């Protein structure tokens, strides 16, 4: 079956490519049944989902009460904080540095994508596209994405440190 990184396979065979065994499809189950890891992963995902909701609320609140550079660049930082929360939601066992680095890379990729005309074109027709992709490249945004990634890393690191004593005492 090859290497198993984050789960166990149910089914038979399938070879290194996985997916279809001799007796039918192979289903991958995240975590291992009955392990203590499943509740921890569930708690991490719940915290990440809550952080995403709070971050969206903070971004909308910032837009409602602030204007100009504060709203613009604060929104940029919060965009990356939101991406950190979404990365942790999808990959709860990733380290804070890996989650923040992935979110930063995605933020930068979206910003660089704005050098093409496609995001601006899509933004004309869709508010969702405008919120997710933006419309025009702005070099200072790259710095504020770093600020957001650092903030997300700091919050994720604090949450990991808070969980460690529980894990070591067996609670």
pLDDT of residue 150: 98
Task: Let me know: does 3 contact 12? Beta carbons within 8 Å.
Answer: no
pLDDT tens track for 5-20: 444 333 434 444 444 4
Higher pLDDT among residues 144 and 14, named by residue = 144
Let me know whether 22 and 63 are in one domain.
no
Same domain flag for 55 and 14: no
Residue 63 DSSP SS3 = helix
Q: What is the pTM of this model?
A: 0.74
Q: For residue 133, what pLDDT band results from cuts at 50, 70 and 90?
A: very high
- Count of domains in the chain? 2
DSSP string, 74-85: HHHHHHHHHHHH
Task: Collapse the DSSP code of 20 into the 3-class scheme (helix H, G, I; strand E, B; otherwise coil) and give the result.
Answer: strand
150 in the same domain as 83 = yes
The rounded distance, in Å, linking the Cα atoms of 159 and 20 is 38
Residues 2 and 42 in one domain: no
Task: Check whether residue 11 and residue 65 sit in a common domain.
Answer: no
Residues 53 and 125 in one domain: yes
**Is pLDDT of 152 > 90?**
yes
Model confidence over 111-129: pLDDT tens digits? 999 999 999 999 999 999 9
Write a three-state SS string for 137-154: CCHHHHHHHHHHHHHHHH
How buried is 107 (Cβ within 10 angstroms: 0-12 exposed, 13-18 middle, 19+ buried)? buried
Q: How high does pLDDT run on average in the chain? A: 82
Cα–Cα distance, 20 to 12 (Å, whole number): 8
Q: In whole angstroms, what is the distance from residue 38 CA to residue 8 CA? A: 13
Give dist(CA 19, CA 1) in Å, integer: 10
Q: pLDDT tens across 18-66, in order?
A: 444 444 444 334 444 456 678 888 999 999 999 999 999 999 999 999 9
Range of the domain at 147: 37-169
């Amino acid at each position: 079956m090859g290497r198993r990184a984050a789960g166990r396979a149910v089914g038979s065979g399938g070879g290194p490519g996985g997916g279809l065994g001799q007796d039918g499809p192979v289903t991958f189950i995240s975590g291992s049944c009955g392990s203590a890891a499943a509740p921890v992963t569930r708690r991490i995902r719940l915290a990440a989902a809550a952080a995403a909701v709070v971050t969206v609320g903070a971004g909308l609140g910032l837009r409602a009460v602030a204007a100009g550079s504060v709203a613009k660049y604060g929104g940029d930082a919060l965009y990356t904080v939101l991406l950190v929360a979404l990365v942790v939601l999808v990959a709860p066992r990733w380290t804070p540095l890996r989650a923040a680095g992935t979110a930063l890379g995605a933020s930068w990729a979206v910003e660089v994508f704005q050098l093409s005309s496609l995001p601006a074109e899509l933004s004309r027709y869709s508010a969702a596209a405008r919120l997710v992709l933006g419309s025009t490249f702005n070099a200072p945004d790259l710095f504020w994405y770093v600020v957001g990634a650092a903030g997300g890393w700091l919050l994720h690191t604090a949450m990991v440190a808070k969980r460690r004593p529980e894990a070591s005492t067996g609670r």
